[in-house]
Chain A
Amino acid sequence: MGIRRLFERHYPAVVRFLYRRLGDRDQAEELAQEAFTRLLNQRLRRPTAWLYAVAANLARDAARGEAVRARRLQLLAGELADAAEPSPEQALLREETARRVRAALLSLSERDRLLLLLREEGLSYREIADVVGISPTSVGPLLTRAQRRFVRIYHGVTATEAHDASASS
């Protein structure tokens, strides 16, 4: 498959994958571009798994950076400020849900997060196994547990926040 077809097929999904991990669209697009640039130097039989593995590594490195952490705090502050502004109820609810989902995702282990996000982008068990570094037969059981944890954490986050809100009022 040529690089253009690969790009058209996978670029939006890789950006979305990175956005869900990092919470910053610009950075997600930047890192996706970097992953595709690295792909130019490769001749691979299974480029999809390779692409996501590189994207995951780039996201991990980016998340570790102190500057990025500061930037994310800034973004988060911006999000909270935006949320405080008067806006249509549905948009507000959506933003709030997105923030909580991101918080739940960040609470997961690196492996659980990868499993969830890669499956969500439609990768096969074999491709997921390649990226995460596990056997394809382990993907099913680990994915089930990761999904349960994710949903539980999300509801836990929501319940805690609701409790905090009622306590403060």
Chain B
Amino acid sequence: MRRHPPEGELQALLDRELGLLRRFRLRRHLRRCPYCAGRYNAVSRANADAARLLSALSLTVDPADGWARFLVLSGGRAARPTVPLIARLVVLAVAGALAVASYMAWPRPELSAADLRPAELLERLAEAVDDVVLDLCCADYDGGGLPDDGLVTLSGPGEVVKLVVVYEDVDGDGKFSPGDRVRYVSARPSIR
């Protein structure tokens, strides 16, 4: 440190408000510079004088007595337990984890052989009168190299897709029909 530190910095040193490195440098400077050591002592004396004077205005306060009056003044609100933010976040996180875990553990309906029969699926699609059925045919959805695959979707309100069926248009009629082969059925229980 080449320059003499400003007085505010000496005050901050006294008040332990400086970082470790700054404190170290300043102390080293004070050891080497009698001028600044004198300034530091003067600041220190002013601090001690002010503290001594203010101690003439000190008083003893009983927090228990104050708390009792505060409870009355706040109408009991102060006595209510407050849940800290971190505790609320932990509760939320645990609740979220439980919800995910229970969703994952919920038994899903297994696909039965009937689900893979086009006739069965068509029957179910016909029952869903309030939903929208789209049948897109044909493209190569299964990677077999031929554009002979169709895609049926069943969507509810809000364009929520409830069911997806990928089929192979075996009979070549360009739509999902009893003679086709089902390649994939999404297992969404909402259609049931």
Contact = CB atoms under 8 A, between A and B. Distances in A.
Interface string B43-67: 1001101110110111111110011
A94 B59 CA distance: 13
A140 B70 contact: no
A141 B7 contact: yes
Interface in A88-102: 94, 97-98, 101-102
Given A4-B78, A7-B66, A25 B59 contact: yes
Contacts of A11: 61, 63, 66-67, 70
Interface in A76-111: 94, 97-98, 101-102, 104-105
A60 interface: no
Contact of A33 (B8, B47, B57, B73): B73
Main secondary structure of the interface of B (DSSP, over half): helix
Contacts of B84: 1-2
B70 A37 contact: yes
Contact of A101 (B7, B8, B15, B57): B57
B190 interface: no
A147 B11 CA distance: 11
B69 interface: yes
Contact of A12 (B47, B56, B61): B61
Contact of A148 (B46, B56, B61): B46
Interface stretch (A62-70, A119-127, A161-169): A119-127
B59 A3 contact: no
B162 to A, nearest CB: 43
Contacts of B7: 140-141, 144
B74 interface: yes
Given A8-B67, A33-B69, A124-B17, A141 B11 contact: yes
A43 B88 CA distance: 14
A29 interface: yes
B82 interface: yes
Contacts of A40: 74, 77-78
Contacts, number: 117
A32 interface: yes
Given A2-B84, A8-B63, A33-B73, A19 B57 contact: yes
A20 B47 CA distance: 17
Given A33-B66, A125-B15, A116 B6 contact: no
Contacts of B81: 2
B61 A37 contact: no
A58 interface: no
- Give the top 4 A-B pairs by smallest Cβ distance, nearest first: A141-B8, A140-B8, A12-B61, A140-B12
Interface of A: 1-4, 7-8, 11-12, 15-16, 19-20, 25, 29, 32-33, 36-37, 40, 43, 94, 97-98, 101-102, 104-105, 116-117, 119-120, 124-125, 137-144, 147-148, 150-151, 154
Given A11-B61, A11-B67, A12-B60, 18 more contacts: A15-B66, A16-B61, A19-B59, A20-B57, A33-B66, A33-B70, A40-B74, A43-B85, A101-B53, A101-B57, A139-B12, A140-B11, A144-B8, A144-B10, A144-B11, A144-B46, A150-B53, A151-B49
